[in-house]
Structure formats: structure tokens, C-alpha cells
Amino acid sequence: MTPARRLVGALLLGATTAAGAQSVIPLPTRMDRAAGVFRLTTATPVAVSDLADSDLAFLATYAADVVRDAIGRTARLAPAPATRATRGAIALIRDPAASDGGDEAYRLDVRPGGITIAASTVAGLFYGVQTLRQLIPARGPTGRRGVPAVTVVDHPRFRYRGMHLDVGRHLFPVRFIERYIDLLARYKLNVFHWHLTDDQGWRIEIRKYPRLTEVGAWRRETVKEKNLDPYVGDGIPYGGFYSQAQVREIVEYARRRHVTVIPEIELPGHSQAALAAYPELACTPGPFEVRTTWGVDEDVYCPTERTFAFLEDVLTEVLDLFPSPYIHIGGDEVPKTRWKESAEAQGVMRREGLKDEHELQSWFIQRIERFLLARGRRLIGWDEILEGGLAPQATVMSWRGTAGGIAAAQQGHDAIMSPGTHLYFDYYQGDPAFEPLAIGGFTPLDRVYAYEPLADTLTPAEADHILGAQANVWTEYLRTPDQVEYMALPRMLALAEVVWSPREARDWDGFKRRLAPELAALDRLGVNYRVPHVEGLETDQLTLQPRVTLRLSAIRPDATIRYTTDGTIPDATSPRYTEALALPVPSGGVTVTARAFLPEGRASPARAATFRRTTLRAAAHDTAGLEPGLAFAYHEFTQRVSRVAALDSVPPVRTGVAPRVALRGDERDEWYGYVFRGFVRVPDAGIYSFTLTSDDGSTLAIGDQVVVDHDGYHGAQDRSGQVALAAGHHPVTIRFFQATGGRELRVRIARAGEETRDLPTQWLFHQR
């Protein structure tokens, strides 16, 4: 590979999308079509405004490769500087006056006489080239392409547009890390959050502490799938790390593509790999081993002077490798057990006047923050860093829902929104029965696209503290680059539009139309994206009718939909869907399974829904003495629980009446639950869908029928169920428990054919 080709990067410049201004992702701020086209030929040069600027010179080569892909031959570089009067060329003009919209703004003008991209920074020009790339028709048999005449005036909505990748659990080659960065840059994402250390592996060379990679980078085996209880390992030693030379190469590769690499060095928790290498950093003597399972370990860094000397040495080398203004220190999931039992930790608390271990964690992080601030860097931590008091200039990354980010913004701190409900790309994208093994959860493409980083509760001044949003790719169950690509794309494209495009311009149907040609481009790049599943089979359905009519669709218009009604997974020989299906619903129900097959031979995961006949559930007859609200019982546990049945084993701490199903805000930090009981009054007969959003488990029953079973220990997720109800009052019981980590409880309802909404408070009653 030549140095020029090495710098340009095969992936990002490899393929272009279909013609037309409506193919661009993320959607620009403004696009105005004009008359005519610019004919891109082998004679089209690329010109830049300053031939001596090395970054512009790189961008010129980069743009020339875009042309190469379109016409089969690399464009020549013009020997003379570009101006706005340059004709017949792709002119890249750095103009300090072209700064409306900020440093990343650009203006792209395509006219029959030439193409001009103007911006105040090379980053803006780079993003203009990305838009141009999507406007050029896909390469075909001819050697010239007609680029539609258009004016694009564009700038990002948020300044932080991030993607994360965990290499602590599974390691990926340098070339794939660069390919991943290429994908970010392709869609105008500008931050790569590189999660480099965790309990299961230390992945960055630290020269002063060689045992971090000699010992901490290797685990003796890895748990096999989800065989945690009883534990089953795969018996295969696993490990590796990135040398400092490789890190520098990746950081420079990203810089050329206007992507900032933010390293994450986990502390004070998720430190088992480091403790295996240097056990003296723990509060207990050890020995420790690099963890072979996932989850949270009780052993963490002890808040001693030897620990801070170690961490400051490590961070000194990290700062030398990463010029990013931010350093991520984790700060999440820190058990306090060892600190409570440690004489050294308790001594620190007495010396510093700290009332509990939460304040000790805050003190620990604030000390690290002072070290970073003294060296001109800012600290980012997961939202647990709010507990015990937030470090003065820390930025909060809100992952346990959105509450942490909102709280930080309201306190005048910067925040980055990264909620598990919408932006955890290690969650399932479809029915787990048809998907590769994942950690859990459910984050389909449309949910990512629907995410809004700015809460309506924030004032304009508070909203200014929301820097942007980031999606996370944790790799407990992702061992290969192909698996990472499958989980990240096309959800990454939805995120790109959320953080770049104007809020009012976002439109799901329009996004799907623009997504189709971009997926075809990813096919040409060889990206193992997940082919979106067939739409129209979102959930199992109840019906009161003897027949159902199904309308199926695929995001790729060139896809062929094939289906079955016998419970088998469709293949290339299954019946082809051509028009709406009218199907009888027998007494035992009917299951329809469908897949989208692409011309290239790939296919989507299967999507299935079962349709069953039902009858209306009769309303309660005796409703005398009902009053507004649901009766509730609040319970507290002495240890972490994993099922709602635990609520029956402990008496309630308090009882009362709640106007809605929600957390009240006066609960303890962990290990508690609620039981809500009463009646829900539905005004009209019909089939109703109830959706529980909870972290952790929950159930909803109508009478003795469990309609939504969302039990178990899990993060914030949705689960829905249906029931046919006659008009009137129906007994309802909602159970919920919180174990550790996040906490969330929400109930929504929708009558068939209507929008989902929060369960109305005026529908809730209890027996006096």
C-alpha cells in the first residue's frame, strides 16, 4: 500500500451513493436544487486555495480519490491555487469569512461550470467533500458522472458527535480501528471514544508499568456465551494490546479525518486487570486475575498515595499520546464494599471529612480532575460521578437514562447524552430468536432515530451545556470486526442525523428513503451492516376479527420480501410478497415470518409476528368507592434481588396513593421496589398495548393475567404486551424492583390504531 493510499484510507473514499440531493446522510441544514449538472470526467482537477497547507494537500488527495471511485480514475491535482472563479474543477477554498454556522460549517455549490466548497476551516471543507461524495452517482460502466446542480449550506447541530468502541473485552486490529474511524468521518461524526481498559483487559502500552500489558492484557480464558451460573469457560487464553506507536498512528489517522480520539482509562472501578498486574493498588492483598466473566467486580483501586502516584504516571503517558482536550476516566459501577472494609480508605475519609463512600469516590475523581486540569485537559466520566458531589469542571456522560445529563446541565456542567434506552449499540436490533447473541436490551433503528438529546425541561442556558450525543458499542459478545459492524450500522447513520441535522428537519420516512442508497454503498465497501428487517411485523398481535391484513415493506427498494406462515424461516425459495396479505386467523393463531433478500445475496434477519383471535375482557362490575390514583407499597431489600417475586418476601416500608406509576424520587439509592394496585378505566372497548420501561424488572397484570412480563435484572428497556378490554374499570397490578445501577419506571398505553402515550392519570383509581 502506497503512503498516499495509506493516508487516504480505502474505506471512506471507496464508494459513493446514488445520485440526487435527497441521498445525503446526515441531512444538511439547507439544500437548494439548481438547473443542470456538472459533468465529472477524467479531466476534472481538484484545486485548493493554499498549496502550501499540508492539511489542504491531504484533503485534495482525499477528494481526488472520491473522483477516482466515481469515474474509475483518480483526478489530477491542479497546479494553481483555487479561487471562487476557478471553473471546470472541484475547488476547495479555505475562506475565513465563510464561518456562518461555526468552525465545521461549509457551503457547497455544484453548477454546470464547476464545483466549489468553501469553509473557514479544513474540517468544514472535509464535511463538504463528504456531502459531495453522496451526491455523485454510483459508479457504472461509463467514465463520466453528472453531479446534480445544488447549493448546500450546512453546519452541525451539536459540536460533540461521538461513537464509542470497547476494546477491553475484545481487541480489534489497528486496521479495523482505522476503518471504524473512516465510518465515523463518512457520516460527519467527530469523536471516537476509545475504551482501553477494563476488568477483562488492559489494552494500552504504559512504559513505566510494563506488567500492565505483560499481565493485565491477558486473561486465561473467556466465559462461553452467557454460561455464568454455572460458569463455563472456553479454555482459550485471550489478550493483546496497542503499542504506543500504534496509538500514535491511530490518533494521527483520526486527526486527518477530523475525528478526535478520547481515551478512557477506567478508575476507580473496572480495574481488575490493573490489579492483577499491580496488586498493591488494591485495598486487599489479592492475588487478582484478569477477569474472565463480565459484570462488576468488588475489587477497585484503593484511595492511597501509591494508587494516585500510579494513576498520575499512567495518565502522564496517556496525555502524551492523546492531544484531545478531554480524557475519559470512567467512574461508573464502583462497589464500595472494599472501601468500607479498608482501614486505609476509612482513614482517608476521616482525614478529608467525608461522610460516606460516595463522597470518597467524588474526592477520588476530583483529585484526578485537578491533575488533568493542571495539564490543560478536561475530565469526562459516566454519570455515576454525580454521586457524592460532581468534580468542579467535569463533563458528565449520561448513560443510565437521561437524568444524569439533565442534572449536570441544570448544575451548570457540560454533559454528553448517551442513554442506554436509545444509544447502546450492543443491544439487540430485532427479535433475539433471529439475532446474533447480544448483551440484552432492544434498540431498533427507529428508536435511535427518534432520540432527542435536548430535554424539554431544560432552559436555553441549560441546553447549551448539552454538548451532543454518543452511541456506545460494548463488546462482551462481539469478538470480530464483522460483529462490530453488524451492531453499529446502520444505527450509526441514524445517530449521525440526530446530532448533525436540524431537529425540525428529521423525518423517519425521509431518512429511510435516503438510507437505501447509502446501504447499497456500504455493500460496495464490503461493510457487514445489518440489513434492516422487514417492516410490518413489529409485535405479536391480538385481533377480534377472523382475518388480518398485513402490509410488509423493506427499506431497500431493490430487496425482495419472502415470507412463510408455517413457523419456518424464509429462504430464497419461499413465497414472494407482492401485495397485502389477507390471512385467516385459526383458533390456534397464525405466525408470519418474513425476510428481505438483497440482489447481492445478503438477507435481513427474520422478523415474525403471531396473530391470535381473542375476546374482550369484561370490566369490573363493582366500582363503588373508587378514588383517583393507585395504591402503592414501597419495599426495601437487604441485598440485591433479581425478580419481582422478592417483593412478597419483605414487608413494605411505607404505603400510600400515587397519582401515576413512576418513581417518587425519595427512594433509597439501591435495592428497593414498588407494588402499585388499583383499577385502570378504559373509555372504549378495544385491544390495548401496555409498554413497561424499567430498570430493573417489572410486570403488569390485568386481573390475574400477566400482560407484560419484563422481569429480571436489566438496564432501561421497553417491553410491551396486549390485552382486549371492554370499556370500564379493570383491576391492574404493576410490580417493579431496582437492583443496582440505573433506575427507571414508566408505563405507556395505546389502543389499536392510536399513538402510544403515558398511561393517563385520569384513568387510574384505587379502592377507598
Of the residues 270, 465, 714, 729, only one is catalytic, namely 270
With b meaning 16 or more CB within 10 Å and e meaning fewer, what string describes 267-304? bbbbbbbbbbbbeebbbeeeebebbbbbebbebbbbbb
State yes or no: is 729 an active-site residue.
no
Q: 136 by DSSP, 3-state: which?
A: coil
Per the CB < 8 A criterion, the answer to whether 179 and 152 are in contact is no
Q: 250 by DSSP, 3-state: which?
A: helix
Crossing angle of helices 491-500 and 481-488, rounded to 10°: 50
Per the CB < 8 A criterion, the answer to whether 465 and 511 are in contact is no
CA distance linking residue 309 with residue 429, whole number of Å: 43
Q: 598 by DSSP, 3-state: which?
A: coil
Q: Residue 502: which H helix or E strand, with range?
A: none
CA distance linking residue 402 with residue 587, whole number of Å: 44
Q: Residue 691: which H helix or E strand, with range?
A: strand 686-695
- Cell (9 digits) for 476: 462482551
State yes or no: is 270 an active-site residue.
yes
Of the residues 333, 369, 523, 695, only one is catalytic, namely 333
- Cell (9 digits) for 49: 486555495
Per the CB < 8 A criterion, the answer to whether 66 and 137 are in contact is no
DSSP bridge pairs for 729: 681
Per the CB < 8 A criterion, the answer to whether 167 and 196 are in contact is yes
Of the residues 198, 357, 369, 414, only one is catalytic, namely 198
Q: 415 by DSSP, 3-state: which?
A: strand
State yes or no: is 462 an active-site residue.
no
113 CB neighbour count, 10 Å cutoff: 13
- Cell (9 digits) for 592: 408470519
Per the CB < 8 A criterion, the answer to whether 101 and 155 are in contact is yes
Residue pointed to by grid coordinates 445478503: 602
DSSP for residue 531: P
CA 328 to chain centre: 17
Q: Is 572 exposed, middle or buried (0-12, 13-18, 19+ CB in 10 A)?
A: exposed
* C-alpha neighbours within 13 Å on the C-beta side of residue 156: 24
**393: nearest Cα among 418, 361, 368:** 368
Residues with a known catalytic role: 198, 270, 333
